Amino acid sequence: MKKNRLWIYLGFFALLLGGFFLAIYKEHPFTDAPLAVINPLIPEFKFTDQNGKSITQKTTEDKVYVAEYFFTTCRGICPKMNANMRRVFDAFKTEKDFLILSHTCMPEVDSIPLLKAYEQKMIGGTLLRNEDGSYKVSSQATIDTASISNLNWHFLTGDKAELYKLARQGYQIDNGKPDSTQRMEDQFIHTQFFALVDRYGRVRGIYDGLIEADIQKLLKDIPSLLKEKVDHNRFMNGFSNNPG
């Protein structure tokens, strides 16, 4: 009789222990990417893309995305950066939960038609590898715009103050500290860094868009964030600094 009671107690304890570990497993997704949270709260934004479409945090909700800053007339680092961004685009262009947000740092110049032309060049041009291992997008005389398919690369313009605030306070990819006495019209952001944002709208990685090792890391980190599951209850209870 005592022996039977012992087995009953042991079985009951085993069930409790199993339930405990199951609850822990469900609460914490162990497949999450081991990327620290750099900034848990990105300011709200509202910009316009190359198609005249409004892009907000609602657009990026539950999605992983990469953010950068450039301007269409740049002849320095931007073509090299965006050739690498084209590689990112090519790798994930069919992924419905992935986006690229390319913000202009010269909204006074980069109109919606200019951004549209830049999109056609970036996506319609041929991606070529240079002898030194870097990449470029060829400038073709004519581009078959009908063959361009782009659902997840947005080229954005909007209010300059809001664009710059997002780079500095949100993505944290502007190294320069603005002079508080300088007029907004005279400020200028020119950064080669990309920010990787997870499904909760948290910055999880910053990468140098001109360094191949950083691009390779970005290409590996994106799939790991795409595998992370979203618990919508967390949006109800506020954001956590802990990944996953």
Query: Tell me, what's the pLDDT at 16?
Result: 57
pLDDT tens per residue, range 18-51: 554 444 334 444 345 589 999 999 999 999 999 9
Q: Which of 154-158, 162-166, 178-182 has the lowest mean pLDDT?
A: 178-182
HEC string for 38-92: CECCCCCCEEECCCCCEEEHHHHCCCEEEEEEECCCCCCCHHHHHHHHHHHHHHH
Q: How confident is the model at residue 144 (pLDDT cuts 50, 70, 90)?
A: low
Query: Tell me, what's the pLDDT at 73?
Result: 94
Domain boundaries, the chain: 1-30, 35-230
Query: Tell me, what's the pLDDT at 241?
Result: 46
Query: Tell me, what's the pLDDT at 142?
Result: 59
Contact (CB, 8 A) for 225 and 64:
yes
Query: Tell me, what's the pLDDT at 190?
Result: 81
Query: Tell me, what's the pLDDT at 3?
Result: 54
Contact (CB, 8 A) for 173 and 194:
yes
Query: Tell me, what's the pLDDT at 12?
Result: 54
Beta bridge partners of 137: 127
The CATH code of the domain at 35-230 is: 3.40.30.10
Q: Residue 214: CA atoms inside 13 Å, Cβ hemisphere, count?
A: 16
Nearby residues of 241 by Cβ (< 8 Å), 6 or more positions away: 37, 40
